[in-house]
Amino acid sequence: MSLLRSFLTVRAVREGRAQPAATVRHAHLSAEPLVFIPLRLAGEAAAPLAAMVGTGRADARLLGVANPRSRDQRFTFMAELAEIIVPYIQKYAAQVEISDTKSAYERCLDAPQILVPNPGGLAFIRLIGRSTRFRATEGPHAVAPQVPLLGRWLTFLHERSEFAGSAMLLAMTDLLAEHWVTGLSGPENVNLAGQLAWIDPPDGMTGQDAALIAEDPLRSPPAGPDTDPGFDRHVLKPLIDAPSPARLHEALRGQLEPTWELMWRAVDLLRAVPDADSAEGRWERDRTALARQNTWIAEGGLPPGRWDSAVAAARRLAGLEGAQQSYEASKAFDDPLVMAEHRAEGAAFTGRVITVDADRKIIPPGKKRLVARPLVTIGTSDPVRFAPGKKLLSPARPKQGTVLVSVDADIVTLQINSGMTKDATLPSPGEVVCYTELDPAGGRRPALPDVTETPWTHGGPPPEYVPTDEDAQEAWS
Amino acid sequence: MTPQDQSRATTAEILSDYTSGAHRGLVVDSPPGAGKTTLVVSTSIELVKADERLMIVAQTNEQVDDLVDKLASNAPGIDIGRLHAEGFEPPDRVTRHPGVTLHNKIENVENCQVVVATADKWAYISGRSWPWAIVDEAYQMRSDKLLAVASLFADGHALFVGDPGQLDPFSVIESDRWTGMAWDPLQSAVAVTQRTNNLKVHQLPVSWRLPASAAPVVSRAFYPAAGFSPGTAPGERRLELPVRGLPGPWDPTIEEATASGWALHELPDRHTVRTDPDVAHACAALARRILDRGAIAHDEHGSHPITPDRIAIGCAHNDQVAAVRAANPPPGVTIDTANRLQGREYDITLVWHPLSGRRDATAFHLESGRLCVLTSRHRHACIVVARAGIADLLDHHPSSPRMQLNVPIKFPDGWAANHTILAHLDQHRIQP
Amino acid sequence: MSRLDAIRGRSLPVDHDARRIAALAANPACDRRAVLDAAGIDKAKTVEHLGFPTRFGQSPFAVSRTQEFRATVKAHGGAHILRLLREVLGLSVEEAGYHDVGDVGADAGHGVRYRHTMAVLKSAAENPADAATLVDHPLLKLGVAGYDVYLEPDVIAFQVDRRFHVVAIKSFAIIDGQADSGKVSAAAREAAVYVHAMRDLFAQLGLDPERVSHDVVLICPKDFMNFPTACLVDVRLQLEALKRQLQRLAKIDTLLDRLPPGLSLDLQLDGETPTRPVPELSAALSSIPARYAPECLSACEMAYFCRDEARACGSLEALGRTVRDDLGGVASLPVAMDLIAGSGVPSAEHAAIAERLGFVRRIFDEVVA
């Protein structure tokens, strides 16, 4: 959280409805997202109970397990789920183009987008992926061929979803919280129904009143994956003890349908927000990752093992950090409201250009030639916390590198160091400019050793990963 | 044994253990001001004498420059390479030494007897190897950074030195993906290397920085497993205030600190905004008053007036640093966050207590490493500025740490460390 | 302790279990919770009567899963347990004596079972020839707020090499060596209560309390199977927290002294039905200071009542700790709303936050306009 978000939380309560935290939508939104609401059986790590899934509001498919304790039925459920999800992904994975960059690479024309209600849904997808990707399709515990494939794709999507800015698998409550601030506290804000009650309250109602109604489990059943213990006790248990498939199906539908409606309402709300400039670029990286994964699977590559090696872990961490830094910065560059959040924290400032010394030339330290280093002075009423020497960028001229020379009361002096190409413009007196320490390009990161050359400090080279029989046959309680 | 003998014996033991080549790696735990740099310098001299090549990895450019300066001053005959990034402007304290070669390309420094650079710079070097390596501030180095440089000395012998009590390395990524794994990249370099190799650990036994008034309490609060002792006896370090005191809120605090080495300047109990203007003002005013009183420090090396560069004000947050800067502190006084004060030393420090004015204690504000850094930078006295009510705040805090399987628990617990320090400060409490 | 009895009234005190005691440490600043728990008040029944029924609870599926897993672990004379103990403690024992303290009969009183537990543990501890012993369902006792509280036996005590370990069986899964941190933390807090109680008992028996290890053996299902695996959990930090909490509860008198005289939370049960007028009970509860935070919603039965109260009196607490922290020093929501709107003149103590919020308001208006 930041001071701006706390400000907006109080403002939401004051105004009786959620406040915008963004002026543009920072996530790409697919024309055909797949909404997936899984439910799990209480007390089990990853035993599916039911799911509602589909690519359109009117196209809900309800999958259920009559007896969730039965291992066979779980795999039947997974096979049914795979029949829906795998073709949806493969449809996108199959269509590729070749980039027109210096070193050409493949990327898909478009990519799948799976939306789950909340972070619990993401975690459950990881577990479904983990519990199915190693399964054998022949032998004593054989499963349908689509099941391990489902596991591999869900694992891929989940791993990708941890990279900031990736949009192939998203949790709706995260997405909404990125774009609106409600009057709910952090722990309460993972309730989809409550969040939407604040963002879009019924006429004549405040967000708070609407949320109070929305948190009643009888009116808005939990959005999963955990079910309401009351429902388990009074409805589900009797229907499993004395099986009645038709009534069970209806009961599950009753638990899932309200969330289904909420998910599509949320999609509509998000669609009404205009796209952020850099969202397409991030989606392109998703499309590239999809093409790469598709080739890997097609060429017989193994599913990822249970653990990252030391090298894989470090490499992944570097990637996650780079993505995070670049996403934070891109959001601020695309959206003045996000930039305002950074201004409030002292990571950016806005002001009006007073003077520009465009012809200034100096000899930089360690160099011999005279080079152009224009000086810009800016008057600002933002508190500037940067120290001289700080490198700053401006969303208006992202390619122009500058360095802070001095801060004297409310006058900031910057020196422009780079990006003064022929068609580039310098800031001009009177112009309102914003400078920040954020950098959408992300930093350069050094190479790590090959996994076969893992040094002794990190345990030496790990044994090569080969899926074992244990992986494939892991009895599913 | 005198502290000098004790320290000398330990250093000799470490040196012989390391240079014997019997260990692939050794860890040296060094409490605040225990002579880590001196150890690095004498190890370097020893290896150069034996005609060996050594690489040294530190974490920041400032640390590298400090090390190069110390090494070149102590052993002017050594041929030292200072490898740096392109565009880096080396400070005078490095360029003044004729024996130091500075360059951004490894080709131009690799033939030096000792090559020093940051971990970030070393990570771009490949295809070379060194038989000896020292990794400095290894507890502040993230394990993935070690992975990027370890191949350079993987066939040789490494000495990991650092302070286990200070702040752990940090990442913007919060992921449970690797939790419990021995090589979790979010851990420190030492933690990973120890979990996979169980190296022999030495400990430096004497703090030369902390005075006799501070070493025991810092040792008890932050190093409960292996304590250390002060290098000077009580009374050996002394502060004098030649200028007479004035009535007002500041002098009693300063006098308590000069008399006992500690003071808690306690403002009235109130929940406040993080940038509490009263605390900011008190930090700045106390620093000014110390200078106005013409404070003189007497220690084992003689006497010197306390100048602004010998005073630091330490905070938990950047915006607190900005608040102190805005409160008109004396020019030349260092004002910084705990993270950036790591490894530095002053005569007097003023500490903005991380829990001051807070309603809740969070893991960040309780972190023992943060308080340890803030309360262990001084040679003479430490003044803590805080709102009253921290004891209650601690009592009200649900101190049940988040548990993870296969993750070794960490001592000391931030809660307990905070209590120990607070109980000690209670004896030096001044309410203006 | 007649004061606590008077507060509870005619209802019977609810039993404490380790989970309840462990939960005390969750929000130690809350007097309301401390008083209610020390007095043994049935919180679930109380809030239900007040119209704020508890939202959490255990699903019957979770309950039966736990029972089934426990049975699997204990089957065949604890064969799994012995295998796992050999693995995690690096033992070579082939067999262990097995005592079920629960054998004295479920209807035997707490006192009888406690004395039986004492006898069994004592004889095992004092028998130098004892190679390995499993003591199932040990009934332990703990002093809480001046009361002796019996802990429902949920664990096994295991002695090997003259050292006892608490063995806790939980039904959450350990998948690829990892488990849900919230569940591991809860299990550790609970196990610490047993370690503490066992050390107490050892001290009473004149045995060295340190013979009860701070390393607890946690047994859980492995991956997605019904097959048990185990992990050692070091509960030293939890033991410290528990000790502090028990010391605080021991001083509950000072807390009670601040409450209105004659305070009663009696539900005035008629059979199973509370007849106490709701406004009266509600007012009585409100006279015990609470410290609500949204985190309570998933941890305390009282939470929805306390949230309603916090909202009704305009406490900023209801918006969560982060907001409370960012708006340091502001405790009231109406004041916070004035400050963000810039209406009215801020008081001197709010000058600093008012200035920061004024800046935020200016840049927000600038962008949104």
- The reply to whether residue B196 touches residue A457, judged by beta carbons under 8 angstroms, is yes
CA distance C232 to chain B (A): 8
Find, among B181, B165, B172, the residue nearest to B404 by Cα.
Answer: B181
Interface check A187 vs B, CB under 8 A? no
Instruction: Give yes or no: residues B281 and B144 share one domain.
Output: no
CATH number for the domain harbouring residue A403: 2.40.30.20
CA atoms of A13 and C314, how far apart (whole Å): 11
Instruction: Give yes or no: residues A376 and A237 share one domain.
Output: no
- The reply to whether residue B185 touches residue A385, judged by beta carbons under 8 angstroms, is no
Interface check A309 vs C, CB under 8 A? no
Instruction: Give yes or no: residues B256 and B345 share one domain.
Output: yes
- The reply to whether residue A346 touches residue B192, judged by beta carbons under 8 angstroms, is no
In a domain, A173, yes or no: yes
Instruction: Give yes or no: residues A278 and A374 share one domain.
Output: no
- The reply to whether residue B405 touches residue C248, judged by beta carbons under 8 angstroms, is no
In a domain, A316, yes or no: no
Q: Rounded to the nearest 5°, which phi and psi values hold at B361?
A: -95, 125
Q: Partners for B (CB, 8 Å, 3+ pairs)? A: A, C
pLDDT of the residue at A423: 80
Find, among A440, A442, A451, the residue nearest to A315 by Cα.
Answer: A451
Q: Which two tokens stand for residue A13?
A: 């309560």
Tens digit of each residue's pLDDT (9 = 90 or more) over B156-195: 999 999 999 999 998 999 989 999 999 999 999 999 999 9
Does residue A387 or residue B310 have the better pLDDT?
Answer: B310
pLDDT bracket for residue A1 (50, 70, 90) = low
CA atoms of A126 and C214, how far apart (whole Å): 34
Cβ pair C89, C160 in contact under 8 A:
yes
DSSP A153-195: HHHHHHHHHTSTT--SEEEHHHHHHHHEE-SS-GGGGG-HHHH
Residues with Cβ within 8 Å of C59's Cβ and at least 6 positions away in sequence, in order, are A42, A43, A227, A229, A232, A233
CB nearest to B179's CB, from C178, C244, C331: C178
Find, among C98, C236, C234, the residue nearest to C158 by Cα.
Answer: C98
Tens digit of each residue's pLDDT (9 = 90 or more) over B204-246: 999 999 999 999 999 999 999 888 999 999 999 999 999 999 9
pLDDT of the residue at C77: 77
List beta partners, residue B38.
none
- The reply to whether residue C321 touches residue B360, judged by beta carbons under 8 angstroms, is yes
CB nearest to C29's CB, from B273, B274, B396: B396
| Domains delineated in chain C | 1-276 (3.90.320), 321-368 (no CATH)
Q: Which of C325, C339, C359 to mutate to test the interface with B (most CBs of B within 10 A)?
A: C325
Residues with Cβ within 8 Å of A351's Cβ and at least 6 positions away in sequence, in order, are A378, A379, A380, A381, A382, A410, A412, A432, A433
Cβ pair C226, C72 in contact under 8 A:
yes
Interface check C314 vs A, CB under 8 A? no
- Which three-class secondary structure state does DSSP give residue B345? coil
Cβ pair C167, C157 in contact under 8 A:
yes
Cβ pair B355, B386 in contact under 8 A:
yes
In a domain, A462, yes or no: no
Q: In this structure, how many other beta carbons lie within 10 angstroms of the beta carbon of residue C60?
A: 18
Instruction: Give yes or no: residues A99 and A151 share one domain.
Output: yes
Last residue of a domain, one of B150, B182, B207: B207
Radius of gyration of chain A (CA): 26
Instruction: Give yes or no: residues A295 and A338 share one domain.
Output: no
Residues of chain B in contact with residue A459, where contact means CB-CB under 8 angstroms, are 182-183, 196-197
In a domain, A459, yes or no: no
Instruction: Give yes or no: residues A189 and A104 share one domain.
Output: yes
Please give the average per-residue pLDDT across A280-285, as a whole number.
Answer: 97
List beta partners, residue A413.
A377, A406
Q: Rounded to the nearest 5°, which phi and psi values hold at C181?
A: -65, -40
- The reply to whether residue C56 touches residue A229, judged by beta carbons under 8 angstroms, is yes
CA atoms of B227 and A262, how far apart (whole Å): 59
Instruction: Give yes or no: residues B344 and B252 share one domain.
Output: yes
Last residue of a domain, one of B142, B175, B207: B207
Strands (E), B78-183: 80-83, 100-103, 114-118, 132-135, 157-162
Instruction: Give yes or no: residues A105 and A211 share one domain.
Output: yes
Tens digit of each residue's pLDDT (9 = 90 or more) over B311-340: 999 999 999 999 999 999 999 999 999 999
Instruction: Give yes or no: residues B343 and B363 share one domain.
Output: yes
Q: Which of C237, C239, C319 to mutate to test the interface with B (most CBs of B within 10 A)?
A: C237
Instruction: Give yes or no: residues B200 and B293 share one domain.
Output: no
- The reply to whether residue C366 touches residue A340, judged by beta carbons under 8 angstroms, is yes
Q: Which of B89, B171, B178 to mutate to test the interface with A (most CBs of A within 10 A)?
A: B178
DSSP B134-150: EETTGGGSBHHHHHHHG
Interface check A403 vs B, CB under 8 A? no
Instruction: Give yes or no: residues B41 and B87 share one domain.
Output: yes
Which chain B residues touch A if contact means CB-CB below 8 Å?
24-25, 87, 89, 120, 123-124, 126, 143-144, 146-148, 150-151, 154, 158, 171-173, 175, 177-178, 181-186, 189, 192-193, 196-197, 318-319, 322
Instruction: Give yes or no: residues B175 and B238 share one domain.
Output: no
Domain count, chain A: 2
Instruction: Give yes or no: residues A244 and A113 share one domain.
Output: yes
CA atoms of B279 and B272, how far apart (whole Å): 10
Last residue of a domain, one of A306, A326, A343: A306
- What number of residues does chain B have? 432
Find, among A153, A233, A83, A134, the residue nearest to C224 by Cα.
Answer: A134
- The reply to whether residue A310 touches residue B173, judged by beta carbons under 8 angstroms, is no
List beta partners, residue C222.
C174
Q: Which two tokens stand for residue A72?
A: 């066979």
Interface check C29 vs B, CB under 8 A? yes
Residues with Cβ within 8 Å of A104's Cβ and at least 6 positions away in sequence, in order, are A98
Cis omega (within 30 of 0) for bond into A225? yes
Q: Secondary structure of B184-220 in the HEC alphabet?
A: CCCCEHHHHHHHHHCCEEEECCEECCCCCCCHHHHHH
Residues of chain A in contact with residue B196, where contact means CB-CB under 8 angstroms, are 456-459
Instruction: Give yes or no: residues A246 and A386 share one domain.
Output: no
- The reply to whether residue B197 touches residue A457, judged by beta carbons under 8 angstroms, is yes
Q: Which two tokens stand for residue A294?
A: 């598709």
Chains A, B: CB contacts within 8 A come to 100
- The reply to whether residue B409 touches residue C184, judged by beta carbons under 8 angstroms, is no
Q: In this structure, how many other beta carbons lie within 10 angstroms of the beta carbon of residue B295?
A: 25
- The reply to whether residue B89 touches residue A366, judged by beta carbons under 8 angstroms, is yes
Interface check C321 vs B, CB under 8 A? yes
Residue A369 scores a pLDDT above 70: yes
Distances, alpha carbon B242 to alpha carbons B238, B250, B409, C366, in Å? 13, 16, 49, 54
Q: Which of B105, B144, B152, B275 to mutate to test the interface with A (most CBs of A within 10 A)?
A: B144
Residues of chain C in contact with residue A474, where contact means CB-CB under 8 angstroms, are 223-225
Q: Which two tokens stand for residue A255?
A: 């638990």
What domain range includes position A49? 3-306
- The reply to whether residue A317 touches residue B173, judged by beta carbons under 8 angstroms, is yes
- Smallest CA–CA distance from C354 into chain B, residue: B273
Q: Which of A124, A185, A234, A341 to mutate to test the interface with C (most CBs of C within 10 A)?
A: A185
Instruction: Give yes or no: residues A127 and A174 share one domain.
Output: yes
pTM reported for the whole predicted model: 0.95
Q: Cα torsion at C237, C238, C240, C245 (round to 10°)?
A: 150
Residues with Cβ within 8 Å of A433's Cβ and at least 6 positions away in sequence, in order, are A350, A351, A352, A353, A378, A394, A396, A427
CATH number for the domain harbouring residue B405: 3.40.50.300
CB nearest to A233's CB, from C59, C341, C356: C59
In a domain, A450, yes or no: no
Instruction: Give yes or no: residues A253 and A353 share one domain.
Output: no
Distances, alpha carbon C64 to alpha carbons A293, B67, B282, in Å? 41, 64, 61
Residue B175, Cβ density class (10 Å: 0-12 exposed, 13-18 middle, ≥19 buried):
middle
In a domain, A191, yes or no: yes
Last residue of a domain, one of B147, B178, B207: B207
pLDDT of the residue at A476: 44
CA atoms of B231 and B212, how far apart (whole Å): 8
Instruction: Give yes or no: residues A408 and A295 share one domain.
Output: no
CA atoms of B233 and B218, how far apart (whole Å): 16
Residue B361 scores a pLDDT above 50: yes
pLDDT of the residue at A477: 36
Cis omega (within 30 of 0) for bond into B412? yes
Q: Which two tokens stand for residue C330?
A: 């502001």
Interface check C181 vs A, CB under 8 A? no
What domain range includes position B168? 3-207
Structure letter (DSSP) for residue A456:
G
Structure letter (DSSP) for residue B367:
-
Domain count, chain B: 2
pLDDT of the residue at A467: 67
In a domain, A441, yes or no: no
Find, among A74, A93, A70, A94, the residue nearest to A82 by Cα.
Answer: A74
Interface check A127 vs C, CB under 8 A? yes
Instruction: Give yes or no: residues B227 and B141 share one domain.
Output: no
Residues of chain B in contact with residue A365, where contact means CB-CB under 8 angstroms, are 89
Q: In this structure, how many other beta carbons lie within 10 angstroms of the beta carbon of residue C325?
A: 18
pLDDT of the residue at A424: 83
CA distance B154 to chain A (A): 6
CA distance C59 to chain A (A): 4
Cβ pair A62, A253 in contact under 8 A:
yes
Tens digit of each residue's pLDDT (9 = 90 or more) over A300-344: 998 988 899 999 999 999 999 999 999 999 999 999 999 999 999
Radius of gyration of chain C (CA): 25
Interface check A219 vs C, CB under 8 A? no
Please give chain C's pLDDT, 369 residues, in tens: 478 889 999 888 887 777 777 777 677 888 998 889 888 899 999 999 999 988 777 899 999 999 999 999 988 878 888 899 889 988 887 778 888 887 776 666 788 888 989 998 998 888 877 778 888 888 888 887 777 788 877 788 888 888 899 999 999 999 999 999 999 999 999 999 999 999 999 999 999 999 999 999 999 999 988 899 999 999 999 998 888 888 877 778 888 999 999 999 999 999 889 999 999 999 999 999 999 999 899 888 999 999 999 999 999 999 999 999 999 889 999 999 999 999 989 999 899 999 999 999 999 999 987
Tens digit of each residue's pLDDT (9 = 90 or more) over C330-343: 999 999 999 999 99
- Smallest CA–CA distance from B403 into chain C, residue: C185
Instruction: Give yes or no: residues A284 and A341 share one domain.
Output: no
Instruction: Give yes or no: residues B57 and B128 share one domain.
Output: yes
- Which three-class secondary structure state does DSSP give residue C98? strand
Strands (E), A30-142: 34-40, 48-54, 61-64, 96-98, 106-108, 114-116
Distances, alpha carbon C303 to alpha carbons B267, C56, C277, in Å? 34, 11, 20
Q: In this structure, how many other beta carbons lie within 10 angstroms of the beta carbon of residue B33?
A: 26
3-state helix vs strand vs coil in chain A, percent to 5? 40, 15, 40
